[in-house]
Amino acid sequence: MTERQSPTAAIVLAAGEGTRMRASRPKVLFELLGRSMLGHVLAAVRALSGDVVVVTGHRRGEVEAHLEEIDAEARPVFQPEQRGTGHAVRVALEALAALRQLPATSDLTGSVLVVPADTPLLTPSSLQAVLEHRESTGAACVVLTAIPPDPAGYGRVIRGDDGALAAIVEDKDADAAQRAIREVNTGVYAFEARALARVLGRLTTDNAQGEEYLTDVVGILVADGERVSAVVASDWREALGVNDRAQLALARACLRDRRNTELMRAGVTIIDPATTWVDVGVQVEPDAEIWPNTILVGATRVAGGARVGPNCYLADTDVGSGARIRDATCEGAWIGPDAEVGPYTYLRPGTRLGRAAKAGAYVEMKNATVGAESKVPHLSYVGDATIGERTNIGAATVFVNYDGLAKHHSVVGDDVRIGSDTMIVAPVSIGDGAYTAAGSVIVDDVPPGALAVARARQRNVEGWVLRRRPGSAAAEAARRAGATEPTPGDAPAPGDAPAPGDADDRSSG
């Protein structure tokens, strides 16, 4: 049987229940910087290996559905009983042999990389170092180890007098002297396939947890006279496994720091890396500036010369060169070059700001296109609308787009001036160069160059305060300003409505 071009296979162990997470979903599906734990491990493994087998167990349906989304080429294999990491690898080897159409696991050749799915900080470079060491030395097994500040909870690496790797002892099975050892097992191994297949059947459950430990393979290989070696990770944090939410937060912070360092070394200015979160799928070009308390997630892209922050959340948003965004939430938006957003602005999906356009303070937009150099400076809602170029939308303007059943679209042309507190009741069209008077309710189309006035004429009811609020502070102020006392018996002036709360008030509050 002809082998595939890449002899390296990878086994990812993702069957554990993760009870310490106290979660309703599988542990390996928790996200860090826009990618699941399993996704981070697969991304590292995929840089090196051909065939990938993922061992599933607890809530397998959810894990396998996620696997189909992120890596459809990976082969899931179900471990119906979680009888330990050694048993999981045995199940995976059988699936790998079937994948390569081999009659038995003993027919497998090349390197087999074994990686736990709850170690999201692993890097391709460390995995590559383990594989290269195994292949260059011909070792039956190479273990990736680390030296963390606190080794508690990790399996300890036992070395012989000559410094060679002799065994790995799990934390629960270690004695006091072994627990004092700081070098720990990361759970990452590179095996020679035939040696691994030969030894797995000899594992026992004679240990504190009554499971088949993959770590026992090391001691068996050493006893058989096989060469076993170790590579120490350059950064101990790669060994960080995630077993509870406190460890998840620590891993997130480590990934955040790693991601921000990569961006800064690539030419991005990050003012405060500790408060800046950038998903792994986000693109930030050199010369962009990210200010404090900023979160960039999803498919967001920030062009060079743009400045985002402080206090921004951007999801799936494209930011053009020279744009300025502060104190804003933007989701599914397109912000053109030199555009200005904020402060306290909400751009919802479908928003497109043209070159040098502005969405200012307390502005909300949804499914709206704003042309070049047009401005919506403050206190307005623009929904389901197209606004032309060089147009100004006055404060407190609302595009009334919903009739209770459906959304409707409005069009505002170029060089239009919308007066403050205008209600634009869709669907309407306001032509190029038109004006609307402040306080108008626009329900009909406005021709180009026209002034639309849609409001009631003001009427002043003289003496109303003195009649209806005698003795009040307002009445005294009015009297001082020269307001005259009404003559007894005078008929009420037109529009002299009863005061709110009067017995004869017929208003519909």
Q: CB–CB of 331/312 below 8 Å?
A: no
469-500 tens-digit pLDDT: 999 999 999 999 999 876 665 555 555 555 44
pLDDT at 488: 62
- 475 is a domain residue: no
Percentage of the chain modeled with pLDDT above 70 = 94
Residue 219 has pLDDT above 80, yes or no: yes
Does a structural domain hold residue 244? no
Residue 81's pLDDT is: 84
Whether residues 90 and 201 fall in one domain: yes
Give mean pLDDT, residues 365-385: 98
pLDDT digit string, tens, across residues 248-303: 999 999 999 999 999 999 999 999 999 999 999 999 999 999 999 999 999 999 99
**C-alpha angle 278/63/4, rounded to 5°?**
90
The answer, yes or no, to whether residue 5 has pLDDT greater than 50, is no
- Domain identity same for 356 and 429: yes
We report the CATH number of the domain holding residue 365 as 2.160.10.10
Domain boundary among 452, 483, 502: 452
Q: Is the pLDDT higher at 82 or at 251?
A: 251
Domain span at residue 356? 259-452
482 falls within a domain: no
Same domain, 230 and 273: no
pLDDT of 503 over the 80 cut: no
Same domain, 55 and 200: yes
Determine the pLDDT at residue 507: 29
- Nearest-angstrom CA–CA distance, 328 and 333: 12
pLDDT band (50, 70, 90) for residue 210: confident
Could you tell me if 398 and 379 are in contact, meaning their C-beta atoms sit under 8 angstroms apart?
Answer: no
* Res 484: pLDDT: 87
Residue 248 lies in a domain: no
Length of the chain: 509
- Tell me: do 194 and 336 sit in the same domain: no
Are residues 372 and 303 part of one domain?
yes
pLDDT of residue 4: 36
d(CA 85, CA 89): 6
Q: Give the pLDDT of residue 8.
A: 85
pLDDT at 333: 98
Q: Do 288 and 223 share a structural domain?
A: no
The DSSP code for 428 is -
Helix (H) or strand (E) holding 257: helix 245-265
Neighbours of 172 (CB within 10 A): 10
Question: Would the pLDDT of 54 be above 50?
Answer: yes
pLDDT mean across residues, the chain? 92
Q: How confident is the model at residue 505 (pLDDT cuts 50, 70, 90)?
A: very low
Query: What is the model's pLDDT at position 489?
Result: 57
- 500 belongs to a structural domain: no
pLDDT band at 308 (very low <50, low <70, confident <90, very high): very high
Which helix (H) or strand (E) segment holds residue 191: the answer is strand 184-192
3-state SS assignment for residue 255: helix
Q: What is the pLDDT of residue 490?
A: 56
Q: Specify the pLDDT at position 441.
A: 97
264 and 231, same structural domain? no
Contact 419, 440 (CB under 8 A): yes
Q: Which of 208, 239, 270 is the last residue of a domain?
A: 239
Same structural domain for residues 268 and 412? Answer: yes
Residues designated catalytic = 378
pLDDT at 446: 98
Q: Specify whether 190 is located in the same domain as 112.
A: yes
Please report the pLDDT score of residue 51 as a whole number.
92
Is residue 169 domain-resident?
Answer: yes
Please give the sequence-ordered ranges of beta strands (E in DSSP) within 217-260, or none if there are none.
228-232
DSSP readout, 447-467?
-TT-EE--SPPP---TTHHHH
Here the CATH number for the domain that contains residue 189 is 3.90.550.10
Amino acid 48: pLDDT: 86
pLDDT of residue 179: 94
Query: Do 194 and 313 sit in the same domain of this protein?
Result: no
Name the domain count of the chain.
2
Last residue of a domain, one of 452, 470, 504: 452
491 domain residue, yes or no: no
Of 490 and 236, the one with more pLDDT: 236
* Residues 233 and 358 both lie in one domain: no
Please state the φ and ψ torsions of residue 392, each to the nearest 5 degrees.
Answer: -120, 130
